[in-house]
Chain A
Amino acid sequence: MSRRASSLGPIDLGLLGSLFFVVPVVLLGSSYLRPYDAPELDPRPALLPLYLLLSLARLGAAYGMALLAALATGYLAARSAAARRIILPSLDVLQSVPILGFFPVAVGFFIGVFHGSALGVECAAVFLIFTSMFWNLAFGVYESLITLPEDLVVAADQIGLRGSLRWSRLILPAVMPGVLYNSLVSWANGWYFLIASEIIAVGPARYTLPGLGSYLAQSVVVGRHQQTLLAILVLLATTVGMHLLLWGPLDTWAERFRFEESGGHPRTPPIARALGRSRIVRWVTRKLVVPSGQQALTVAGTVLHAVTTHSRLVGVALALAVPLAVWGLGRRLYLLFVSRALSPEIRDIPLDLVLSFLRVALGVAVSAALAIPVAYAIACRPRWRGTALAVIQIFASIPATAFFPLIVVLLTWGLAMNGGTVLLALTTMFWYVLFNVLGATTAIPKEMQEAALTLGLGGRRYLWRVVVPAVIPGLITGSVTAWGAGWNALILCEYIEAGGRVFSVRGIGATLDRANYGSGDMQVVAASLLAMVLLIVAVNRLFWDPLYQRAARRYKMDA
């Protein structure tokens, strides 16, 4: 009890946390509730902490909403077969939509809602980040819940765990490892889109969101390389700091919720395990996370219980709202295309699409070709593994959008734009493949490794007969994710304005960007978005899904 008194209580923590997020948001909000006048960012490095705080506030707000929504959605999908039939396919389609393409549309919408105030841009950014964080969290929750051991559920029923108690004692602990694992992914996605949304200039008027990303972008455009470097360093320090102060401690704490080692479950990210040995992480875990963890679960349980008890109401509301929205959208699209003659650019869309497709496909192939040897090299050297993984993970947690400025500098030095585009896309795509492949190599059961050893399978034979087959499911999962992410990257990097020059290649991303930011031709915007989404969904359905099914059947670790 005396220990409790000396450490910060959960309430203090909650207060501090909300101060951290609420104050900048309120400050921002008050300064935003006036008509927008496109400010130039103040370039003084002393303001960087403020910019960082603003960026973090956006991320935090989006993450909070995404987590709550994901828990509720995943829970509903796992509990009711009817909900599952609607939720899973919609999530599947929605997550394959390239979010960045919709950003200008969202900005337009929210600016309309807030009558031209810049709060609309802020909301659009948070919305964009939310959509980048939500899907994998929801799938993570759903998967943890359907793989919950049946005995445990029966036992919980038997003991009489109901209502908020069921949430805080059964469901939340059960989904905790999956949620944490996916939070890392979500958070990385969030950074990516945060920076993208801060960088993007919208429409004829430029909207700038003050934040780390816009600071980075502006310093590149103006050509202040020292500031660029500084901003990247701040970003790096922040991601490392978050691992030390947040993810590491949370993960150490959540270790207690893990069921015994089972192959299919997402394992602790290696960096978190490596960090588990750090003194800072242990201190934070002991002093902050452990004392407040159970209370946090209880509070969350109450909230979630309240949210999900009205699920039927929400369901009915959705059942009414969704058809209405679809009808409204369809009508607007129809009007858009019949109201005037078709723009000539629309005829170019098929070829644009093919060119972009080739770039993404090349990106996937290169990522896979690079990831397997790297993963193999790491897997073969267990002594280095921890260090190598930590370094890779820190690099990967720098959002690829932060590399864009650097590659733009290369472009201004004369790098061919086609190469530059693929390189830019690769900075986004490679990590997805690498992490999935690495995860699969480390999931090879120990006895299987020993069997290979005693059978004399060494070197290249071990690579081809054991490692490659074992990583195939991971390789496909990673490639699917990279394929989706690649399209987002193309929207960002087929058309780049920097230092007063325009770098662009022909492709659907460039067409979309030109229409979004140049001509403002909504016909072209709608047509290219539709074409892109249809292509992505079709390839997912007709190529990746069957491929994955076959691979999973053949290469699953179940013998």
Chain B
Amino acid sequence: MSERVITYLEAVREAMSQEMRKNEDVFILGEDIGVYGGAFGVTRGMIEEFGPERVRNTPISEAAIAGTAVGAALTGMRPILEIQFSDFITIAMDQIVNQAAKIRYMYGGKGKVPMVVRLPGGSGTGAAAQHSQSLEAWTAHIPGLKVVQPSTAYDAKGLLKAAMDDDNPVIFYEHKLLYKTSWEVPEEQYSIPLGVADIKREGKDVTIVATGIMVHKALEAARELEKEGIDVEIVDPRTLVPLDKETIINSVKKTGKLIVVHEAVKRGGFGGEIASVVAESEAFDYLDAPIVRLGGKEVPIPYNPNLEKAAIPQVPDIIQAVKETVRFK
């Protein structure tokens, strides 16, 4: 058993480093990831260990980074891309959506694109509208891509291992505000299979399905609600694609109530998918209150720190939604 506590950021770095020591095919590429260590310092120290051949600084072109990675993957490498801010995936979208996601299918499995796209996402750092978005629903919509959203250092390390082992392109969302959070993380390598949700808190009154940083806000809300005798269950899907429907459905069957929370804009967000999965499932007959979605407001993330907070769900919003939902239990 490991007593060791490291940060989310260190867990991501450790997952990459451990794999790169074992597997010569794995390399990382991105903007300023060498001596500078990347925008958030995730790769700091890696160029010293692995050298500039395997920790490659690139020009400032996400399209080029992604295209290079697709080509490298097709020829047998297993690249990891770091996109400085997840917002910039929009520039790499053609390579990711039209090439990476399609090639294995279109060539009948004769080629494959094993690559991991690492994306620091989310708001809360005062980085304003172009550097704070949560666009995971864009990628979750594309068949051929897997989408991962770890909420803890432990999950980040294990899921990144699984992502690197996967023979398909995996979109890996890291939350900027989580980089500094610390958790017990085993030193040895381990893999958390993609498509297995984690019940972060067991409860019986209401199910909250939360993703990314919202898992922590939901946990905080649950601690408050516990004082009032409301017992919240929190399900963290961990991967949006593949989605562990069974865990979500079983939880809703148990509690009869569902709240979905994500930071991404509510309109068109992945919460709609989760709500629909439940409504279409056998859990329907167990629903005892309307499903509630909490998501970002329909505005670009504001620069003003107060407005920035107001634009996404906060703990009091979750508490209020829960109280409303369990009112008739």
A, B: real partners: no
Chain B interface (Cβ < 8 Å from any Cβ of A): none
